[in-house]
Structure 1
């Protein structure tokens, strides 16, 4: 069974020994809302709540990135409709985007990357 945002949160909550009501109280949401998230009847909450959830659950970098990836999958389109599947199916693409974000890649650096990939694609035709 594919892991979802809700199942991931439930797993991490239980690993921390928190009840659903306890997590809801710490996150300052209703237990019903928290239950709806864990059962995937509601998508992931807003970024501020996600950041708070990450702190409450004490997630490391790998689990934080997975939580954010699963949160994005749970929501309506957050980027152009042709991109989410490509991004979410490829770990290396997410890693590249996160790296570019961390180093604040410039437009020139992105254009250089695009040009390199485009040249490679043209050679293959």
Structure 2
């Protein structure tokens, strides 16, 4: 079970770990560098240790290095964030979130069609 919400830096580390799968600090650094994020190895190691304590990742020793693995999938993490947003800002109403998205975002015709299709699949 995870505790707390992810900070922006923790989320960047998690995204890198989701990309590489099981990985060392060096692997996470390389994945983050592809996205234009340059952090010190000690910073990434500290973030991974905190994520481990919070239940987001686990680690095992492989020789002298620690290999980290995400315990929470990207989909599960996104679901948790969305749940908090819907609860905190929209009174628990997904329809209010949807209305806000439709009002404030420029949606392409393809995105609108995808939303219609998803609603039809849900039986709406």
TM-score between both structures, scaled by the size of structure 2: 0.33
More strand by share: 2
TM-score between both structures, scaled by the size of structure 1: 0.32
More helix by share: 1
